[in-house]
Amino acid sequence: MDIIFVNVKTPRDALQLSKEPEVRSHVTRHQWKQSKSRDKRRRRTLPSDSNDTKNLGYAGYSARPSSGIFASDRVSISPQIGGLRVDPFQSYPVSVQPWTQLLVDHYLIHMAVDIPELDLPGNHGLLRTTWFPLALTEPALFTVILLLAASHYASLQGDIGSLRVDLLGLRYEAVLSINRSLDAQFPDSTNDALIGAIAKMASYEAMFGSLENYDIHMQGLTKAIGLRGGLASLGLNGLLHRMVIWIDRNAAFLHGSTMYFAGISRSGEAEDPNPGQFLAIS
């Protein structure tokens, strides 16, 4: 790692330097590694197996008792949640749990934010207006979204206990749901929602899991996209293409690993990682 000396003469200099991309990236990666170390000391992990799904090379997790992914205690939901952010009719593609609306609200407010690299010039809010409606059509993708929201909520609050969510159970349900969709679709098709679910599961492992499990999901993703006809065949007017590259680039930056889709980009696509927004902390 190269060492860069930063000269600071006044507090104002330090404030300005903190806004520089190199400094922000270094600080973000340092903070992420510290939080990962703390998480590894206190969390349990699910074992993985090597069974392929329909020869796609996508490994799931060993079965665990499906005794419910939440405790029986109900969660007090703020009356402000709902309206334009959360479906009042609860027409979600999975069974609604006491914490579903709160996590949907958390995802839309804190994670589905405007990201220039994904929205591109002239657009904004595509994660809310284009991406999230896709999640409402596919149980696997929606479950992964809930997992990401729950894990991010826990990282901000320091504890998930108040929601009565079993993160390991939710993680297992997300992978199981992806495998079910693969069984139903492969080899005839792999639609945008399923590819999006695998991509977001990879991003989950990059942020909250392990590099080993991240690699498992990315290997499955590359095969699924290859069967689909390549990145150019993905829908959402190029948004899904950009999301895959964005996840790949930022995960490679955080872990110091090689990109799976290196050299595959579109005109106007940012080449630099944006770890702050990738981790949804900026």
Distance of CA 133 to the CA centre of its chain: 16
Do 163 and 214 belong together in one domain?
Answer: yes
Mean pLDDT of the chain: 75
How far CA 242 is from CA of 5, 18, 20, 116, 281, in Å, comes to 35, 28, 24, 11, 20
pLDDT above 70: percentage of residues in the chain: 63
Q: Identity (one letter) of the amino acid at 251?
A: A
* CA atoms lying within 13 Å on the CB side of residue 222: 12
**Do 29 and 168 share a domain, yes or no?**
no
Angstrom distance (rounded) from CA 162 to CA 164:
6
pLDDT in tens, 39-73: 554 443 333 433 444 445 455 443 343 434 433 34
My answer on whether 179 and 84 are in the same domain is yes
Most trustworthy range by pLDDT among 1-5, 81-85, 267-271: 267-271
Q: Both 212 and 266 in a single domain?
A: yes
User: Is 222 found in the same domain as 86?
Assistant: yes
Q: In this predicted structure, what is the pLDDT of residue 24? A: 46
**87 pLDDT band (50/70/90 cuts)?**
low
Mean pLDDT of 102-111: 92
Q: Is 108 in the same domain as 187?
A: yes
Domain that holds residue 96: 47-278
Give the pLDDT confidence of 213-255 residue by residue, as tens digits.
999 999 999 999 998 999 999 999 999 999 999 999 999 999 9
pLDDT of residue 44: 39
CB-count exposure of residue 7 (10 Å: 0-12, 13-18, 19+)? exposed
Q: What is the separation, in whole angstroms, between the first and last Cα of the chain?
A: 24
pTM of the model: 0.72
Q: Domain check: are 38 and 61 in the same one?
A: no
Given the structure tokens 């930063």, which residue do they identify?
Answer: 6
One domain for residues 11 and 122: no
Residues 37 and 133 in one domain: no
pLDDT in tens, 139-175: 999 999 999 999 999 888 877 767 778 889 999 999 9
Regarding whether 1 and 129 lie in a shared domain, the answer is no
What is the count of structural domains for the chain? 2
Phi, psi of 93, rounded to the nearest 5 degrees: -80, 5
Same domain? For 1 and 113 the reply is no
Whether 208 contacts 278, CB under 8 Å: no
Does position 269 have pLDDT exceeding 60, yes or no? no
Q: What Cα–Cα distance (Å) separates residue 162 from each residue in 19, 42, 86?
A: 35, 17, 20
Q: What is the model's pLDDT at position 137?
A: 92
Do both 37 and 51 map to the same domain? no
Range in 29-33, 64-68, 186-190, 238-242 with the lowest mean pLDDT? 64-68
> Residue 123 above 50 pLDDT?
yes
Tokens encoding 133: 């409606």
